[in-house]
Amino acid sequence: MREGLQEIVMPQLAESLVSATIERWLKQPGDRIDMYEPICEINTDKVNAELPSTVTGKLVKILAGEGETVDVGAPICLVETASAGAPAESAPDSGDAAQPQARQAAASDGDEGAAPMSGRYSPAVQRLAAEHGVNLAEVRGTGLGGRITRKDVLNYIESGRASGKPADSRSADPARQPVRSSGLHLSEEPKLPAIEVEAAAPGSGEYFIDVSPLRHTIATRMRQSVTEIPHAWTMIEADVTNLVALRNKLKDEFMKREGINLTYLAFFLKAVINAIKDYPIMNSVWAVDKIIVKRDINISLAVGTEDGVWTPVIKNADQKNIAGLAREIDDLARKTREGRLSLSDMQGGTFTVNNTGSFGSILSQPIINYPQAALITFESIVKKPVVIGDMIAIRSMVNLCLSLDHRILDGVICGRFLQRVKENLESYSIETTTLY
């Protein structure tokens, strides 16, 4: 390895990202850093990641502080790297470096040779130690050759908390440990807003909630959408009596065979996707001097959680059948609930569908998922008296609400589009519809 000072730069975490924010430094100047060891947590639109070090050495200087937003490619810290022999000489200088201390601890424990594994840390141990700020020199290893095991660290954290040393509450719950995906640490857990009650100011009738990164992103996107896009809104009503009968007939068998729910949403998505195929302009973006029409139909699906709303994407939705869509919906909803969405799950949406009926709404006026051209909602299915010919019948009716970018779309085209969605929905029937 090259000797001297090296910069660690902000990597490009995903194609579309231009910058990221430093959430927290896990290493401080003077700390020893191993290759691939997480040095800080960074924060991008809706995704958090730990940044692994690209070099081995000693952290000399932090160039971008916590909360600072850094462009991709810009340096964030300086690391002093040394040739292979050097760390042994420099180790005694850095008194707080973990490894020498571990060796001292082992030596003071008795014969140094009796604990040959005490300085070798597994990835799990290193990560836990970094997350909880544990000095591994203080942990007693019970594994092979005095190795510190993951359980040793967990026990240490547990006992430390009991003796009044508070561990970092944000990562204290092992059940919520984030998923690791292809080398980068994608911790998708939305941070729970820390609720602080203002201390005993008499008569204070308010309290504050920290704005989480997710909340911040939602706020930014919503504001951008309503300020940039001239919204217009329209609604249509469809008769889904046949669809209700069809789904009731198929859902149990489908559950048995596929192990997932056959939701109305899958049928609705298919109806919308087929209508988009007929009116591709719905699948476009305003680019000031031109309109970009997207060939791929990637449906952003609005999925609500306790903390906010996410819009994971069903890619190439036009190439999926109803069963395939049902599976995708189930998969994305589950990933969202479990906080396991990856950056790629969130990218590339061209048109958004929101199943507002799922929380009982019968009418909504949604804000477009910027920079798409339109967003459609599927409201609650409600039984209503309807006039057919000169008779009154009880039919299952549903409202579909469309918000549109009036720079791209006008009433006529949207009316035709909605009419097509309606036709598609109403043409589902037990005789003709297949799931596969």
Partner 1 sequence: MAVMHYIDAIRLAMEEEMARDEDVFVLGEDVGYKGGVFTTTKGLLEKFGPERVLDTPLAESVIAGAAIGAAMYGLKPIAEMQYADFIFPATNQIISEAAKIRYRSASDWTCPVVIRAPIGGGVFGGLYHSQSVESVFFGTPGLKIVAPYTAYDAKGLLKAAVRDPDPVLYFEHKKCYRLVSGEVPEDDYIVPIGKANVLREGDDITVIGYSLPLHFAMQAAEDLEAEGISSHILDLRTLQPLDKEAILEAVRRTGKVLIVHEDNKTGGVGAEVAAIIAEELLYELDAPIMRLCGPDVPAMPIHAPGEKHFMLNREKLRDAMRQLALY
Among 69, 81, 90, 122, binds partner 1 (CB under 8 A): 122
Should residue 177 be labelled a site residue for partner 1 when binding is judged by CB under 8 A?
A: yes
CB of 147 to partner 1, least distance (A): 7
Smallest separation, CB 150 to partner 1 (Å): 4
Residue 216: active-site member? no
182-211 footprint of partner 1 as x/- string (CB under 8 A):
xx-x--------------------------
Q: Is 434 in the site for partner 1 (CB under 8 A)?
A: no
For residue 150, state whether it binds partner 1 (rule: CB under 8 A). Answer: yes
Which of 127, 221, 247, 420 is close enough to bind partner 1 by CB under 8 A?
Answer: 127
Span near partner 1 by CB under 8 A; candidates 22-30, 71-79, 123-131, 404-412: 123-131
Q: Which of 74, 82, 179, 244 binds partner 1 (CB under 8 A)?
A: 179
- Segment contacting partner 1 by CB under 8 A, of 91-99, 190-198, 209-217, 257-265: 257-265
In the complex, minimum distance from the CB of residue 143 to partner 1, in angstroms, rounded to a whole number:
6
Cα-based angle 150, 175, 137 (whole degrees, multiple of 5): 25
Q: Residue 116, preceding bond cis, omega within 30 degrees? A: no
Q: CB of residue 127 vs partner 1: minimum separation in angstroms?
A: 5
Asked if residue 257 binds partner 1 (CB under 8 A), the reply is yes
Rg value, the chain, Cα? 28
CA nearest 395: which of 250, 235, 244? 244
- Residue 104: how many other CB atoms lie within 10 Å: 12
Complex with partner 1: residue 270 or 422, whichever CB lies closer: 270
Binding test (CB under 8 A) with partner 1, winner from 144, 211, 292, 430: 144
Provide the residue type at 27 as one letter.
K
Choose between 327 and 406: whose C-beta lies nearer to partner 1. Answer: 327
Of 151 and 170, the one with the shorter C-beta distance to partner 1 is 151
147 binds partner 1 (CB under 8 A): yes
Largest CA-CA distance found in the chain, in angstroms, rounded: 98
Q: How far is the CB of 26 from partner 1 (least distance, A)?
A: 13
Q: Is 34 assigned a catalytic role?
A: no
Give me the least distance between CB of 182 and partner 1, in Å please: 7
Region near partner 1 per CB under 8 A, out of 72-80, 117-125, 161-169, 227-235: 117-125
Which of 251, 245, 185, 181 lies closest to 51 in space, CA to CA? 185
**Residue with Cβ nearer partner 1 (81 or 149):** 149
Query: Nearest distance from residue 213's CB to partner 1, in Å?
Result: 22
User: With binding defined as CB under 8 A, does residue 11 bind partner 1?
Assistant: no
Residues at the site binding partner 1, with contacts judged by CB under 8 A: 122-127, 143-144, 147, 149-151, 177, 179-183, 185, 256-259, 436
Catalytic residues: 406, 410
